Structures are given as C-alpha cells and as structure tokens.
Chain A
Amino acid sequence: MNTCRIGVITFPGTLDDVDAARAVRHAGAEPVGLWHADEDLRGVDAVIVPGGFSYGDYLRAGAIAAHQPVLRAVRDAAARGMPVLGICNGFQILCEAGLLPGALVRNAGLHFLCRDQRLRVETSATAWTARYAAGAEIVVPLKSIEGRYVADAATLATLEGDGRVVFRYAGASPNGALHDIAGIASADGRVVGLMPHPEHAIDPLTGPSSDGLDLFRSAVDVVLGSVRA
C-alpha cells in the first residue's frame, strides 16, 4: 500500500501544527502527530517542524526546541536522508539544531510582519520543491518578527554556489534578509527551511493562493518514488 506518512511535531507553543497537518492531508498523505518529548519518529517517512513560538521564543527563537528529544530523532533521520521541512519557527529550530546553516534575526523594520509575499523558487532540486519549475513565482503568507536570514560570507557563498538557496523574496525584501533569502536547503537537498508559510497557501478560500501545496506534494512524490529501505 503506497501511503506516505508525514510527521508534524508539536512543541509547547507550536501554533501552525494544525495547518501543517491539513496541508499534508491536502497533498494526499497521512499526517502523524509527534510530541516534543517523543524519542522516536513513529515510523514516518518525512517530518515537518511547523511554525509558532515554541517555548515562547525564550532565550532565542527555536533555541530550546532544538534541544528536545524529538529533535535528536530528527537529526538522526535527516542524516539518513529523510525529508525534513522547517517552516518559520521550524526553520529557526533547524538552524539552532545545526541542520541548516545561518540564523534568523529581528526584521529590519523591527515589527512583526504579516503579508502575502511573492517568492521565487530558485531550485527544484530538493525533496520539497521537485514539483516546481526553477524560477517560478509563488505567493505565500509571510508572518514573522525574526525572519531576517543572516549568515557569514563564506556560508552565503557556499549556499549560492551549491544552489542551496531554495526560495528568494521577489521584489523589495520584507525583512532585510541577506541575499533576499527566504529559504535554504541542506547539502543533500533533503532538509529545507523557509520563513514564509506554504501551509497557509493550500486553498484560495483561506489563503492568498494554493501555491504552497506543491511543497507537500513534492515530498510525497519523493517518498513514494524512493526505495523505502
């Protein structure tokens, strides 16, 4: 039976877990709730670290969540090539956990910013963007206060050189992110983190578009098409 099971992690303070699970269902996969204290991933094929304010963003956004038991399991799974997606706070957590390079800091405008954001998909060579054409423009909500991507020059050069910048803000940068970076991938293209929220763009009734759905469908394709050993 070809079903794809995608885990959605809930930390205390996670907010967009319901939305991520809904997006997984819309993409034809089965969402599996994972709790921050879980030691294992309950046999899922891929994992989403959703948005929110895990642990109230105490210390630093994502810093405490990155040290929870479930993240150890995610780190091990990622090392074996499991597709992992971090959205907003999830992106911050993956950076804090060392699964992705760089950091997210306070928006240049200092305020929380919620808006319908145009993004350019820079590469289809990741587990989460295979369904997009490189260069495609999509509209997805952005909603964050610590969304400005920063990294040192060497890291930026590596990301750019290796084609690991996955999403870039189109038009004027909303938050001052370096190189207008909205999302990046790990070296093997299996782990992706982005600040905007594709799970809020799966149905034009409740979001600005359905442009975000193909992220989740891409992962389903990858899981179902790959060898499950």
Chain B
Amino acid sequence: MVTTQQPYRELGLADDEYARILDILGRAPTAAELAVYSVMWSEHCSYKSSKVHLRYFGETTTEAMRQRMLAGIGNNAGVVEVGEGWAVTFKIESHNHPSYVEPYQGAATGVGGIVRDILAMGARPIAVTDSLRFGPAGAPDTARVLPGVVAGIGGYGNCLGLPNIGGEIAFDPSYAGNPLVNALCVGVLRVRDLQLARASGAGNKIVLFGARTGRDGIGGVSVLASESFTANSGDPGVGRRKLPSVQVGDPFAEKVLIECCLELYDAGLVVGIQDLGGAGLACATSELASAGDGGMQVNLDAVPLRASGMAPAEILCSESQERMCAVVRPSDVDRFMAVCAKWEVTATVIGEVTNGDRLVIRYRGDTVVDAPPRSMADEGPVYHRPVRRPASQDTLQAATPDRLARPATLDDVRDTVLRMAASPGLCSRAWVTDQYDRYVRGATVLAQPGDAGVVRIDDTIQRGVAVATDCNARYCALDPYAGTQLALAEAYRNVSVTGATPVAVTNCLNFGAPTDPGVMWQFAQAVRGLADGCAQLGIPVTGGNVSFYNQTGDTAILPTPVVGVLGVIDDVRRRIPTGLGSLGDEIWLLGDTRDEFGGSEWAHEVHGHLGGRPPAVDLAREQALGEILAAAARDNLVSAAHDLSDGGLAQALVEACLLSHHGAQITLPADLDPFVALFSESSSRTLLGVSGAHAPRVAQLCSAHGVPVARLGQVHAEPTLHIVPLAPLTLSELRTAWESTLPALFDTP
C-alpha cells in the first residue's frame, strides 16, 4: 500500500498508477516527474481505456489495405500515397471540453492543434473541415456556445489561410452541457518529404521554436480533457475555476510557423519534428525520445518564457499554442536559426539527443526529470474496463417508430416536406459556413454545401482529394455497431458522389465516461463496426482520436463516432457537382427504399422519438455505388449527384433544387407509399442528374453493378419542385423554409 504526501490524486493519477511510477523510478518522483507522468498517462495522451479496443483496427487491416499507407495509427497523422509522387495526410481531433468552457478559444485552438499535427508530418496544410454537435438549437446556452465556436473556427482558420471545405452540424439535448468540436485538417506533401516524430542521432540538437511558453493551458490535458463536467456546470463558479486552463490561440503566429516549417523542410534542415499540443513540452520530448534510438537531455533554463516564476513542472506541461520541437543536426543549427529569423520565429536549442535511454531534464542546476521516456510515452497504463450491453438497449430497440402517426393526407405530406426542410437538423448551414473562407489558396473545387469538399493537390497537377465526415449519433445509440458502419457508409458515399475514389479513413470517437460499462460497450461496438466495415470496403483506418468523458453528470452524450473518409480523384475537372444537373436532365434515384424510420430525422423532429433499429447497412452496395460514380465521373456521364441521408429523398430533392437553382418534376415510384418514398432514410442511395444522351450508358453501368434505378423525373424550367401526387412546392417557399432557421436563431438583433 502506498503512503505519500505527493498530490498525485489531484493530478488525476490512481493509486496503482502512482505505485507503478515508484516502481519504474525506484524512488519517489520529483514534482516535475509526477506532473509529466500525470499528463502522459492521462486518458487523452495514453489512450489507456481505449488501447485494448483500438488494436482491432490493426488486426483487421490487411496488407492490401496497407498498400497506399505511408504512416498509420500512432503517428501524428496518417499518410497515404495518392500518385504522381504525392501523398496526403489527414486527421480529425476533438476539442470538446475547452469549447464548452470558452467557445471561441476552445474551437480556435482545436483548429490550431490539428493543423500542427498535419504540419508535423512534413505536409503543407491545405484544407480544414469540422464536425460540430450542440444542444437543442433553440436552447439559450446553444446561443452562447454555437456562435462562439463558429467564430473561433473561422477566426483561426481564416487567418491561417486554410479553406474550410466541408463539415457538419447536429443538435441533440445530450450535447447541451457537452458540445462536440471535432476539427479535421488535410495536408499534402511529396512522398520523399515525409517527416516522422523521432529523435535520433546522438549529438543532434533539440530546437524549440514558435511562441514563448506561458502559464496558459496548464493542466488542460489532465483536468479538462479527462474529467467530466458536473451536473451543475452551468454554475458560473465551475466555469471560473476551469477558465485559466483553456489555451489562447494566435493564428498569426501559427501562419508564420507553417511557412517557417515548410521552408525548413524544403532546405532539408529537420531530422525529426513534433508539434506541441496536449501536455506540451512533456509530451513532445518524451514522444520524440521514445520513438528515437537513444535518450535526450533537455535544459529548461533555455526555454523562452512569457511568464516569470514558472516551476519546471509548469514549463513542461504548459499548453501554450503555436510551438514546435525539431531535431536538428549540429551542422545545420545556424541555417535552421537563419530561416526562423527570416520569419521572426523565436527558436532556441534546448537540448540534445544522447546515447543511452534516459530523458534527463535539468533546471537551474538540478535534475528535475530522469526517467525512461518510453515509460512515459508508450508504456503507460492499459485498462481492460468492464464492458456490458445496457439492459435499456432492448427497450430502446423495442420502441420502434412503427406506431408514430404519419401524415394522413397528401397535403400533410407536402407540409412535412417544408417542415423538415426548415428543421434545425436539416436546414441550410450557410449561416455557419459563410463565416469560413472556402476560396483561399484557389484550389477549392467543391465545398459546403456540397456533399464533400474537393481540393486540387497542387497547381502543377489536376489530381485532387475529397474529404467528408459523418455520423448520425441517433443511429449509433440504437445500434453502435451498425450506426458506426452507417457513418462510414455515408462519408464513403459523400466522397463517392463527387467522383472521387475513397482511399482512407480517420475517426474521432466521442463517448461518455469509460468507467461506465454501458459506454464502454458502445465504444467497443463502434470500433468493431468501423474496423469490420473498413475491412469490407478495403480501405484502412490511418489514424484517429478518442474523446471520453463527454457527459453531464451521469448522462453520456449519444455515442458519436465521427468518421472521416478521404478520396482521390485523378482529374478535378471531372468532379461531379452536388445538385440536380441541367435543364432537361433526367433525375434518377439509385438504390432501394424500404420502410426505415428508426433514428430518422422525421421521428426526431415531428415526434421527438428515438427507438427501433437504424436503417440496414449494405456496404457492398456502397462500394457498387462508388464504382458507378467513379466511372461516370471519368467518362463525364452525369451532370450532378447528391447523396441521400438524413431526411431521405424529400430533403435530397429540396437541396438539389436549391443548390442548382432549378425546379424538378418528380413522380414517386408507384409501389411505395409517398410518405415512405420521401422520408425513409434507407442507406446506400443517391440522386443522379443524367442527360438523355448518356442515359443508356449510365443504365448499363448500374445494371452491371446490380444497383436498381428509379427514373424519377426531369429538371424542368418551372421554379417549382413538383412531386406527383403532391401539389407543387415553389422554390421560393422552399428556400425561405430552408434558409431562415439558423439566422432566426443566431443572428444578433
């Protein structure tokens, strides 16, 4: 039994974890060591509760799936080869808790952190997107959190010069005290320029560069990221106590840091590099040393500070933003410093790679850390948390939506189209996305409200990448395994409808407390669903992020495993636009429509109902759709496409009309009830705009892939969406319904 006065519990370490530290060191840790272990062994840095489950991703990734992969899970971000000597890296990461405490800075530094992860791979960041979840749209606190988060994402990303090309937003009461802010960044690099976070070569120098180190964000990792908010966190006292832990971002400093890093890479001056994010210098030095072939010696006196009187533990754990740590050959240090001076970036040699296997950190003549770096970075605790399917799951699945009252008349169905278009879950996101620069860099070929963002990789080639993130958390609540596969399927489809071919997957797994066996069951199911789905689709998970403790009191958020899919298109000029197509084009619906309303937007919006089973998963069908769309794009056979998801066919038609500024004449399939045809959320479906001339070839493609086609109608010259047998809807009434909701909720009077 451990007896000690050291405040390890306050730092979030358990008794047995503390005992292990004593065992590793053979003595009591110094204050600095205790702080470093506490942040490195936090859930956020060590993945101690998720590790045993995440292994399944590796176990299900075959050699064939690894072919394009240059770096995978465990690196700052996954990297895939995309041809012509180019590679793409992408990753999504959460910044949920800080964004609740201080929405603007929390979201802003979330963008800043993921961009540095991408930069640390040797890549130029080229685009960002974000996946957001908030409490009910009309709730007073949402009016505080949402505008702040959006302004923070825009304020940081716009100032970095990165186009924001996609993203998604959903509202649900479970996020009221725990919004989700997941930021994704895409970067490109020449394959030969790949950088890895590794400190090798004894005598090489450790250079800290970028912003000075201050008191901001100390304890951010162990306190903010790994402790759920109490039920009364609306109490301003709680907010005040946590406020100092939120980091403050300076996007200008990061923009300069990006250009500085890229110039350093170009000049070949970097042996290894790591960004400073959660757990700051403690994490960067121990991870660099752990991944390298020796030890490391660091002198904290050399670290440029912005506050006086900082203790060594504070310098090590500060989460001051916009910092990087590089390993540099001694002969290159002068040139390295000259590049930093050009960009007016502060750079300081703070240590060197040593022989041996210790991380030794000194401060004012004292040794404050002397420990094996692997024990901090790689050999942290691993927990086999209890996993138990909650009994309530059966009740939830038994409460099917079959008994919910459906629209009684065709006029009611027509009204439902308008009501759904205006619902917070489905309405236009322009109020949000118009606050983001989608044009900067001049490479954006498709952006929101398109199904996926598409950017050209470089001016010298026509190759592009497409990226989409998705997650319907209601489906995941009903069945986390199937729900996660549906998220994968939707992101895959959103990439496919642009004509790109999906090649890699990333994820941000947002869940409640891992100490709750029911939450761990959701988590384990989600991981298995995603991994099995990826194996079936033949595309690897290249990286990801886990965010636990997303709950208010004992109530967890809906399980929200956000899935990001990256695709490649050989020639961006052949991308398929989102919409209806041109006047006179035929409108086709590909896929099967069944009576599936479990977890649907209609059940949620009209009845506040969540129960039953989510729509059936058919990944083989997704793959077939993807092949049809890729072939159609290559041969310029379709003029537009739009995937069907939340809100079903009705919403897809409304959006396609409004995005194309065209009306349509539609006749619903005779064998389906109009309500089911319009609002069912059966998966694996897409709309196509097909010109008459190409119709036979597209039909042939679909039949060769075994995908059923319904030729629904045509793009017509009338400014109406006329869905027979419903009375026509005018585009102006649809536009008013679709576009008015968010401005009415969030515009300041």
Contact = CB atoms under 8 A, between A and B. Distances in A.
Instruction: Say whether A associates with B.
Output: yes
B443 interface: yes
A146 to B, nearest CB: 12
Given A56-B251, A205-B573, A115 B440 contact: no
Contacts of A118: none
Nearest to A54: B252
Interface in B156-200: 158-161
Contact of A53 (B252, B436, B438, B439): B252
Contacts, number: 85
B252 A22 contact: no
A13 B445 contact: no
Nearest to A115: B434
Given A53-B251, A112-B435, A113-B435, A19 B442 contact: yes
Interface in B431-458: 433-445, 456
Interface string A1-18: 000000000001101101
Contacts of A57: 159, 252
Contact of A114 (B161, B343, B434): B434
A114 B445 contact: no
Contacts of B445: 205-206
A143 to B, nearest CB: 5
Query: Which residue, A114, A202, A207, has most C-beta atoms of chain B within 10 A?
Result: A114
Nearest to B154: A112
Nearest to A12: B256
A56 B151 CA distance: 16
A205 B456 CA distance: 10
Contact of B442 (A56, A113, A206): A206
Which of A19, A55, A57 has most chain B Cβ within 10 Å? A19
B573 A111 contact: no
B392 interface: no
Nearest to B747: A109
Contacts of A115: 434
Contacts of B442: 18-19, 22, 199-200, 202, 206-207
A206 B434 contact: no
B262 to A, nearest CB: 12
Contacts of A206: 439, 442-445, 456
A62 interface: no
Contacts of B438: 114
Interface string A118-138: 000000000000000000000
Contacts of B158: 53, 112, 143, 145
A112 B161 CA distance: 14
Given A12-B343, A206-B443, A206-B444, A53 B437 contact: no
Nearest to A19: B442
Contacts of A113: 434-435
B256 A200 contact: no
Given A13-B256, A110-B748, A113-B435, A19 B440 contact: yes
A147 interface: no
B514 interface: no
A31 interface: no
Contacts of A199: 442
Interface in B247-305: 250-253, 255-256
Given A112-B154, A114-B434, A52 B161 contact: yes
B344 interface: yes
Nearest to A202: B442
A132 to B, nearest CB: 21
Contacts of A111: 151, 154, 434-435
Contacts of B572: 205
Contact of B435 (A15, A16, A56, A114): A114
B252 A112 contact: no
A12 B252 contact: yes
Contacts of B573: 205
Interface in A1-44: 12-13, 15-16, 18-19, 22
B459 interface: yes
Interface centre among B151, B159, B442, B573 (most CB of A within 10 A): B442
Given A12-B252, A53-B159, A112-B158, A143 B459 contact: no
Interface string A55-69: 111100000000000
Nearest to B432: A111
Given A19-B442, A56-B251, 16 more contacts: A15-B255, A22-B459, A53-B251, A56-B159, A57-B159, A109-B747, A111-B151, A111-B154, A112-B437, A114-B435, A114-B436, A115-B434, A199-B442, A205-B445, A206-B439, A206-B442
13 contacts: A12-B255, A15-B255, A22-B442, A53-B251, A53-B252, A56-B159, A57-B159, A115-B434, A143-B158, A200-B439, A205-B445, A206-B439, A206-B444
Which 9 pairs, one residue from A and one from B, show the smallest C-beta to C-beta distance? A56-B252, A15-B161, A19-B442, A200-B439, A53-B159, A112-B435, A141-B439, A143-B437, A112-B154
Interface of B: 151, 154-155, 158-161, 250-253, 255-256, 343-344, 433-445, 456, 459, 572-573, 747-748
